[in-house]
Structure 1
Amino acid sequence: MWGKRTHSNTSVTNLKPATDVNYNCTPVVPRILHLAWYGSKTRPAFRFHHVISVMSSLRFIQPQRIMFWHDEVPIGKWWTFIRQKINKTTTRLLMMQREAPKDIFGRPVTKSEHHSDIVRLEAVINYGGIYHDLDVIVLRPLGKLYCYNTTMGEESRDYLCNGFFMSVANTTFLKLWHDSYHSFDSRLWGYHSVKMPGIIAKRHPGLVHVEKDTIHKPNWQDPGLRQLYDDGVFYNWTARNYAVHLWYRKHNVDYDPESIKRLNKTVGQIFRYIFYGQSHIIR
């Protein structure tokens, strides 16, 4: 599953993701992309990795519209940059202002991450479409995933991560997941965002399609983080990944178009592939 530690010259190869295999099914998930921006009062500026995330979706999802859910509007040069990028496409950007939910089913919600968890789930229930975190990079067209009523990616055994999911509106799986928030406890960090969808999937396996290795692998635990961020260590994201989750909270380094040119690590390959259209080091 895991990529190997390789010599640094691997990074000069211009890698490309695997292409979609032919599939014979009817797409049902609408090309609506949902993004969420909550808890930004402490760091309100859009960052370069956010730009890479949105650029990857413009390229490979080609959404008909982006519904950008927020309590505060992002600021900074990279927010201006990505809005200009979106304006040059056929994608319509809808700014969906919604105050952070203070409670759900009468149970208090205090953390910004939990605000975002609730907003994203309710957005996809109401509209259908694709949600991904702003540190998820889409690497190829989603192909057959449009044909399942609901799709989630496995983070690790028994855990499905809500950093990326796609669905038809009002599916039974999403409604069971949302209904589970009747027992929400803000003290439990990831119970309803990753453990609960895993529990529901095991109880009702026919309600959700699970991608085991193509979205949230490598995961946030070592060796996953080292495969993303260590110099000279490369994860083979071209083999099968629809997307890569960067787990940026664990890294939190700011890059820019110049610094990624010679970034000799997996994240450098991915950033260059999206921003410059080539994965190899740029001299």
Structure 2
Amino acid sequence: MRKLKHMKILAVLILFFGGFLTFFYQYSIDQRFRVLVFWCGLDNILLNSDGWLNGTLEPSDDYVVPNIAHFTWLYCRDFSFIHLLSMVSVYKVMQPERILFHTNCEPEGRWWNEVKLIPTLEIKYIEPPVRVFDQELNLNWPEHQSDIARIEVLLKYGGVYFDPDIFVVQPLDPLRKYDYVVGREDGYMLNNGIIMTAVNSTFLRLFYESYRNYRRRCFNCNSIIQQHNLAEKYSHLIHIENYSMQHPDNLHWKLLFYGKFPWKEGHYTFHIWMGAYRIWSWIGAPRQQGGEWIREFSPENIKQLDSSFGEMCRFIYYGNSSIIPEEAEAPKPWWLAVREQIHGQVLPTPPKAKSKPLKFRKKFSKKALREN
């Protein structure tokens, strides 16, 4: 019996490592080792990830990154309340001179109509890239198209690119003095969900040139692994924020949704990781105080959400991170303040909407989980 148990454990380990090596067959041996160590949570011990890779780029005396924000939105899909909060946080906290929304399919709906009130918003039409350096992109992964689109946009304008599930909580001006800035996800991962760059950034051009060796069957090889490899080789051309932009990472996102993470201290941005949240929230989504499970967020159900995520949502939408009791009058949402600035008059607070219980969705599509 004991022997059978050991054989089962051995079989599971063989299947795990076999699957890992198969899935990451295009990675180098060194890359496989580092990613495996990261997934096993041993990166702090074996890789000394507490600063084991740091950019040595020195800051300039003046700002070199233009005060311009970029979002890419490829193909038609739902524009959610989280997407709204992401763009509003950029508008309110970063205060960019321009917010350029690059898309081939302008969103629709209530939340997009609110976003269009942002005075600095500009909609730029682009065609989704289908090739890079005469190689066809893997269209089964629209993320690869977005990876190329964001680099080409930054080469043209410079500025700051944001994935549409990034929350900005502190001004980014201190980082705008570096030619190229990226945040560590954790371990071996330098995430490209936020990229800050000057117009003629040398590192950005090297990053783009690295796509001459594009690996169409490898999801992260080009956008994350290759960026890290370049950072090791050209550390003098890049500044890396180890914890202030992408932490908690994709494996520890629950710290934001289920606890009180000190989000006001030492952080510029947070990646909300909505793809991971949509999947794992079926096991147990956060609740309002004594309320329903929450899967789709709204101005109503964030009022009493007692977590770091709830505090950030209220800070962005209402301008106050404190819990809003049911009997209390809610602060004015962000868009009323914008309208008051535009019209020069104080507008009344909209009536409180009736909250309805949220129902479980029977299924969700892969398309709904994709974030550009």
TM-score grouping bracket, smaller chain normalisation: 0.7 to 0.9
Of 157, 180, 196, which aligns to 1:166?
Answer: 196
Identical-residue share of aligned pairs (%): 33
Deviation of residue 60 (structure 1)?
A: 1.5
Runs of 5+ consecutive residues of structure 1 not aligned to the other structure: 1-22
Q: CA RMSD in A?
A: 1.4
Instruction: Answer yes or no: is the 8 Å Cα contact 2:60–2:177 preserved in 1.
Output: no
Of 47, 64, 71, which aligns to 2:97?
Answer: 64
Structure 2 counterpart SS, 1:261: coil
**2:317 is the alignment partner of 1:275:** yes
Q: Which amino acid in 1 is paired with 2:130?
A: K
How many residues are aligned here? 249
Instruction: Answer yes or no: is the 8 Å Cα contact 1:33–1:131 preserved in 2.
Output: yes
Distance in 1 (alpha carbons) for counterparts of 2:273 and 2:323: 23
Of 33, 38, 45, which aligns to 2:74?
Answer: 38
Which segment drifts farther, 171-180 or 103-112? 103-112
CA deviation vs aligned residue, 1:58-100 (integer Å, no higher than 9, x gap)? 112111111111121111111011101x03xxx2x22211111
Distance in 2 (alpha carbons) for counterparts of 1:186 and 1:260: 40
Q: Which has the higher strand share?
A: 1
Distance in 2 (alpha carbons) for counterparts of 1:65 and 1:212: 27
Structure 2 counterpart of 1:206:
236
Structure 1 counterpart of 2:248:
218
Structure 2 counterpart of 1:17:
none
**2:51 is the alignment partner of 1:51:** no
Structure 2 counterpart of 1:140:
170
Instruction: Answer yes or no: is the 8 Å Cα contact 1:37–1:71 preserved in 2.
Output: yes
CA deviation vs aligned residue, 1:240-259 (integer Å, no higher than 9, x gap)? 00000001111133211000
Structure 1 counterpart of 2:255:
227
Runs of 5+ consecutive residues of structure 2 not aligned to the other structure: 1-58, 279-294, 326-372
Distance in 1 (alpha carbons) for counterparts of 2:104 and 2:215: 22
TM-score by length of 2: 0.65
Question: After TM superposition, where is structure 1 displaced by more than 4 Å over at least 4 residues in a row?
Answer: none
**2:129 is the alignment partner of 1:96:** no
Q: Which amino acid in 2 is paired with 1:55?
A: V
**Higher RCO, 1 vs 2 (CA within 8 Å, ≥6 residues apart):** 1
Of 183, 188, 192, which aligns to 1:153?
Answer: 183
Structure 2 counterpart SS, 1:81: helix
Bigger Rg, structure 1 or 2: 2
TM-score by length of 1: 0.85
CA deviation vs aligned residue, 1:163-221 (integer Å, no higher than 9, x gap)? 00111012110011001111112221112111111111111111011000000000011
Deviation of residue 143 (structure 1)?
A: 2.5
**2:266 is the alignment partner of 1:240:** yes
Q: Which amino acid in 1 is paired with 2:214?
A: F
CA deviation vs aligned residue, 1:91-138 (integer Å, no higher than 9, x gap)? 2x2221111111111222112111111100111111100101110000
Distance in 1 (alpha carbons) for counterparts of 2:91 and 2:221: 31
